[in-house]
Amino acid sequence: MAAASRESQGLQIAVIIFAVLTIILAVTTYIFYAQSETARKDMESAQAATAAKEKERATLHYQNQALKFVIGYGGVDRPSVMAAKPAGADDPIVTEVLRKFDTDMAMYAQQVGEQGASNYVVLPTFLLGIITNKQFLSVDASEETKRVQSKSAQDLTAEQGRTKVAEDAQAKAHTDLTAQIDTYNKDRDAAVKEKERVAAQLVAKDAVLKKEREDSQKSIATLSGQLNQLQQLAETMKKKVIDFNNATVNRFEAPDGRVTLVNQAQRLVWINLGQKDGLQRQATFSVFDHDENGVAQAEPKARLEVVRIVGDHLAECRILEDKAADPILQNDVIFTPAWSPGLKVHFALVGFMDIDRDSVSDREMIRNVIQMSGGVIDAELQDDGTRTGNLTVNTRYLVLGEKPNERSGTRMLQEYNFMLGEVNKFGTETINVQKLMAMMGYKPEERKVELGTNAAKNEFKKRTPAAAAPAPVGGAPAGVPGFGPPMPMPMPAAPADDPFK
């Protein structure tokens, strides 16, 4: 009995323990179930809050992309903005911003230029301040977005605090955007007023310019008439110059004077030109046969230089060069292109002048020869390209040297061509420097003719009978060195038609 009683008690204790354990298990299970339901509900709440915050973040990202697009930051375009738009939702702030942006772009597109307006950065200068503020706002919004994204990644378990921060940031961004829009509207109104003021000024300026243009057209018409008159006058004067040159060409082709006496022993010659003819010492002449016509084209036989003015129509010359085979004779004619009785001939010099072919400029010598012969130099193109003086209607000869080449420089070539172009304008005759010096009697080299048994007959020109030489003023030049007693040659009076008396 006792054993059965103990077994019964043990069974009872076991049942009680089992019941207690069952109750404990049930209570524990219920507690765990309740906690699980609570955790599930908390998780669902957290997921809902997270979804709401993701939606809010997407909205903020959409707003941020829209702001970047309108201020031209980060290369964001309109398709990128549309791609950032949350599905099934639209943001009134972004809509309003894009609407105002489109309105502004349509309003100011003409002022931006041919490229068109793509954002506020390319608006006119007076909107740069607004664009700068928009850029700053975009930078602030971008930094705020980064901060919100970082906070969302780090504090997923602290949704309430993160939500508050995001709401505060959104409120601040909305406030800033509203203030910025108000500022922009005020600035835009001021810009419109400024545009209207500038437009009014342009209308007034157009009226002034129109009147000035009309006055200018009247002045142009008047000046055109005067220019036509001057051109007609220039053509008339040019024709007169050409006619005058044609009328005087024979005078320059004709000899300037004649040889009256010759003293080969002392190498002296007397000519029938003197003080009243305007002759100067050191003037040089070419000597031609007495029957030569057109001396400007003929070959000279000798060269003389005036050493002393004896009388009104008498001068003593020294023989600079002559030919033994064709000596200077009484009544031979003399000629120089740089001088005519009572007339000064005007010249112009252009080009590199080297008459003795030694590659050294002889310009100074040529200038001195012309001036000593009574000529006047009106204009000259120096060897360094510098031009002095100008051609006029009185300039008879343009003396040509060697034409400049590319190595001479662009300036030298331009001035050379310009002076050649003035020849037709003033009717100036061009002459080669070698020809000029030959006509004035210059001979760099002279071939010698041998006399005696080695002489060739064809070296001596046959002379035609010369006319009687005109007597010098006052008779023979008595007392001239080298003459002594009167020479036994007839001194008849000069013919009445002698032009050199």
Report the CATH number that the domain containing residue 402 is assigned in CATH: 2.40.10.170
CB-hemisphere CA count at 13 Å for 190? 10
Task: Examine residue 8 and state whether it is found in any structural domain, yes or no.
Answer: no
Q: Are 280 and 411 in the same domain?
A: yes
Q: Are strands 333-335 and 284-288 parallel, antiparallel or unpaired?
A: antiparallel
| Whether residue 213 is found in the same domain as residue 306 | no
In a domain, 209, yes or no: yes
Q: Per-residue pLDDT for the chain (501 aa), expressed as one digit of tens each?
A: 667 777 788 888 888 998 999 999 999 998 988 888 888 888 888 888 888 888 888 888 888 888 888 777 777 888 888 888 887 767 888 888 888 888 877 776 555 544 455 666 666 554 565 556 667 878 888 888 888 777 766 767 777 777 778 888 889 898 999 998 989 999 999 999 898 899 998 898 888 988 888 888 888 988 888 888 777 777 777 676 666 555 544 444 678 889 999 999 999 999 999 988 888 888 888 899 888 766 666 788 898 989 999 998 999 999 988 888 889 999 999 888 777 776 778 899 988 888 878 888 888 888 888 887 778 888 888 888 888 888 888 888 889 888 887 777 778 888 888 888 887 777 788 888 887 777 776 655 444 555 555 555 555 555 555 444 444 444 444 444 444 433 434 333 443 444 333
Q: What's the confidence (pLDDT) of residue 259? A: 94
The answer to whether position 438 is within a domain reads yes
User: What is the three-state SS of 196-239?
Assistant: HHHHHHHHHHHHHHHHHHHHHHHHHHHHHHHHHHHHHHHHHHHH
> What sign does the CA torsion over 461, 467, 468, 474 have?
negative
- Please give the tally of structural domains in the chain: 2
Residues 137 and 112 in one domain: yes
Same domain, 323 and 237: no
Report the relative pairing of strands 284-288 and 302-311 from DSSP bridges: antiparallel
Asked if 319 and 170 sit in the same domain, the reply is no
Name the percent of the chain in helix, strand, coil, to the closest 5: 55, 15, 30
Whether residue 284 contacts residue 441, with contact meaning beta carbons closer than 8 Å, is answered with yes
State the Cα angle at 87 between 83 and 91, rounded to 5°: 85
Is 386 a domain residue? yes
d(Cα 438, Cα 300) in Å, to the nearest integer? 7
For residue 304, which amino acid is it?
Answer: L
Same domain, 426 and 376: yes
Please report the pLDDT score of residue 472 as a whole number. 44
Domain end, chosen from 446, 473, 494, is at 446
Co-location of 248 and 258 in the same domain: no
Pair 341, 273: CB distance under 8 Å: yes
* Burial (CB count <10 Å: 0-12, 13-18, 19+), residue 103: exposed
166 falls within a domain: yes
Q: Is residue 94 domain-resident?
A: yes
Residue for token pair 């190498």: 267
Residue 488 placed within a domain:
no
Could you tell me the strand order of the sheet in which 346-350 lies?
387-389, 376-381, 346-350, 395-400, 429-432
Shared domain check, 397 and 384: yes
Domain that holds residue 231: 45-253
Q: Which of 193, 227, 253 is the last residue of a domain?
A: 253
Residues 393 and 342 in one domain: yes
Structure tokens at 168: 């505060």
Reported pTM: 0.36
Domain stops at, among 237, 253, 269 = 253
Give the pLDDT of residue 443: 56
Q: Is residue 465 part of a domain?
A: no
Whether 259 and 346 share a structural domain: yes
Same domain, 243 and 315: no
Neighbours of 170 (CB within 10 A): 17
